[in-house]
Amino acid sequence: MLSIIVAIAKNYAIGKDNKLLWHLPEDLKRFKELTTGHTIIMGSRTFESLGRVLPNRKHIVLTDKEEICDSDQVEFIYSMDDIKKYQETEEENFVIGGASMYKQLMPYCSKMYVTEIDKEFDGDVYFPKIDKEEWQEVSREKGLTDEKNPFVYDYVTYVRK
């Protein structure tokens, strides 16, 4: 099973210059809680932006270049067809970005964990529009807003109708 996990601005911006547009420690903590022990699937630019291999997660990186990583936690794949096996399992596998991966894999995902930030940001990459005809909101929870988490945001879970 494929699930998407993403934080998006009100205008669907998700990043700029291969970096996040905001810093929300509570959202990062939630990302860690949801993805630990699972496979995370990403494009090569997202892998680069991580800066390191995230502990206790298998990393699947779609790339068109020969890549080398000395971690047994990282597997490079070279075709979207190689992702099919992750879609067909009972295990939840998380698509974590970037924009191209979200766009290509959204039709194959069953669930989305979306942090919706109630502010517009100037980005250079955007999440695809969420079609309410295809996706049903099943939960919404207010995120913690404080000096470390300065934006108003909600954790929203969607499932495919």
Reported pTM: 0.95
Which residues 6+ apart lie within 8 Å of 139 measured at CB?
155, 156, 157
- Measured between alpha carbons, how far is 83 from 71 in angstroms, rounded to an integer? 20
154, β-bridge pairs: 116, 142
pLDDT of residue 67 exceeding 80: no
Question: Confidence class of residue 155 from pLDDT cuts 50, 70 and 90?
Answer: very high
pLDDT the model gives residue 36: 98
Distance of alpha carbon 107 from alpha carbon 105, whole angstroms: 5
Percent of the chain predicted with pLDDT > 90: 89
pLDDT band at 70 (very low <50, low <70, confident <90, very high): confident
DSSP characters over 102-138 = HHHHGGG-SEEEEEEESS----SEEPPP--TTTEEEE
Instruction: Give the residue with greater pLDDT, 161 vs 64.
Output: 161
On the question of pLDDT at 48 being above 80, the answer is yes
Q: Tokens 């099973």 — which residue?
A: 1
Which of 3.40.430.10, 3.30.1490.20, 1.20.1630.10, 3.40.190.290 would CATH assign to domain 2-160?
A: 3.40.430.10
Task: Reply yes or no on whether the pLDDT at 89 is more than 90.
Answer: yes
Average pLDDT over residues 32-57: 95
Please provide the average confidence, as pLDDT, over all residues in the chain. 95
Within 8 A by CB and 6+ apart from 96, the residues are: 5, 6, 31, 35, 40, 41, 42, 46
| pLDDT above 90: residue 71 | no
Q: How many CB atoms lie within 10 A of CB 8?
A: 22
Q: Where are the domains of the chain?
A: 2-160
